[in-house]
Structure 1
Amino acid sequence: MKIQLASSEADIERCYPIVARWREIEKRSQFVRQIQEQQKFGYYFVYLEDDRIEAIAGFHIIQTLARGRVLYLDDWIGETSEYTSGYSRILFDWLMDYAREHSCQSLRLNSSVRNIQAHQFYFKNKMKIEAFQFSISV
């Protein structure tokens, strides 16, 4: 088993099947271009592989007045039974280590209010609800 930052086009492309199940991305080439574009702005794309890609995470590190240095988790997707397979915990631990190694004060993410299984995982791993997120289309 390995966890690796996806740096090459081939690495990114190998992650497409797992992402396509949960995100509306029609074409593999569109997915690769999207990740590469986000990487230009500090987005990191990491995958956990154990004979096949089992989980991915996409994140960036930000600095804010209110929260200090933060590892912000944009995307987190697992193959099957993501939150009970053990792969999510392994990837979560890796992300926490990465955050510490890069002097982050916290790891933060947004989660759909409907994703109860994810919420249970977050609470089990000592995360807490600290804010609402509001949005409006422009």
Structure 2
Amino acid sequence: MSHTPTEAATTTGTARTEPTRAATTEQTGTAHAGPASAGSGPAATASTGSEPVGLTTTDVPPGDRRMSAHVRPLIRALRPALTDAEFDRFAAEAHAQGLVFTAVHDEHGHCLAVATHRVLATSRGRVLFVDDLVTDPARRSGGVGARLLAHLTERARAAHCHRVELDSGVTNQAAHRFYHARRMGVTALHFALDVTGD
């Protein structure tokens, strides 16, 4: 998936943050989860008290009106080629596979940022992988993306993960600066092979 650090991120080189470190990202390309697939842990509705105030962080399940009204528009802003119908199919299938959709709302109920993530058991340890992390373009550089990444970091700790990992497009230098500023390191290269052609 992809991200952009001005609070939207794109990815293609794997980044991670140690569980003892807070990280922030704006968009990602693969990663996000809560304790055991994102439903439990410090996720439901929490406001941390630093940076922007009056924010709530909530998991949004398929079928919730906020999925189409709030989550879908931001994910589609990140991935314009995705139609409404394709997003709905993706959300249902991915949620069944453990993907969690987490949204940040302000005190007026406006959705400011969204992350999709899941907890994965891997040979290199348990990780919280962020697939997408995107902030409303009108609210970028206001600390919302950082707040969401910090929330995901806390969820990773609660889920006994070793790291938060995500991908960011190789040309998305703004996102790279954002992640490096949150002490995330480039630890791998992400290779892809298109198998849909001839």
Say yes or no: TM over 0.5: yes
Structure 1: 5+ residue runs without aligned partners? none
Structure 1 residues 50-102: Cα deviation after superposition (integer angstroms, max 9, x where no partner): 1311110001111111x200000111111126662200010011000000000
Give 2:100's aligned residue. Answer: 44
In the comparison of the two structures, how many residue pairs are matched? 136
SS at match of 1:104: coil
Task: Report the alpha carbon displacement of residue 33 of structure 1 after superposing the two structures with TM.
Answer: 2.6
Task: Report the alpha carbon displacement of residue 20 of structure 1 after superposing the two structures with TM.
Answer: 1.5
Higher helix share: 1
Structure 2: 5+ residue runs without aligned partners? 1-54
Equivalent AA in structure 2 for residue 68 of structure 1:
G
SS at match of 1:56: strand
Structure 1 residues 108-138: Cα deviation after superposition (integer angstroms, max 9, x where no partner): 0000011111111100100000011111011
User: In the alignment, which of 42, 56, 62 is matched to residue 114 of structure 2?
Assistant: 56
Give 1:77's aligned residue. Answer: 134
User: Does structure 1 retain, via aligned residues, the 8 Å contact 2:127–2:161?
Assistant: yes
Equivalent AA in structure 1 for residue 136 of structure 2:
E
Runs of 4+ in 1 over 2 A off after TM superposition: none
Relative to the length of structure 2, the TM-score reads: 0.65
Equivalent AA in structure 2 for residue 7 of structure 1:
P
Q: CA distance change for structure 1 residues 88 and 54 in 2, over 3 Å: closer, same or farther?
A: same
Which structure has more RCO (C-alpha within 8 Å, separation ≥ 6)? 2
Cα distance in structure 2, aligned partners of 1:39 and 1:131? 26
State the Cα RMSD in Å.
1.4
Task: Report the alpha carbon displacement of residue 8 of structure 1 after superposing the two structures with TM.
Answer: 4.3
Deviates more, 1:104-113 or 1:14-23: 14-23
Give 1:111's aligned residue. Answer: 168
User: Does structure 2 retain, via aligned residues, the 8 Å contact 1:60–1:73?
Assistant: yes
User: Does structure 1 retain, via aligned residues, the 8 Å contact 2:100–2:118?
Assistant: yes
Cα distance in structure 2, aligned partners of 1:80 and 1:87? 11
SS at match of 1:18: helix
Give 2:48's aligned residue. Answer: none
Q: CA distance change for structure 1 residues 136 and 69 in 2, over 3 Å: closer, same or farther?
A: same
Q: What are the equivalent positions in structure 2 for 1:1-138 lying under 5 Å apart?
A: 1-9=55-63, 10-14=65-69, 15-23=71-79, 24-27=81-84, 29-50=85-106, 51=108, 52-65=110-123, 67-80=124-137, 84-138=141-195
- Identity within the alignment, %: 26
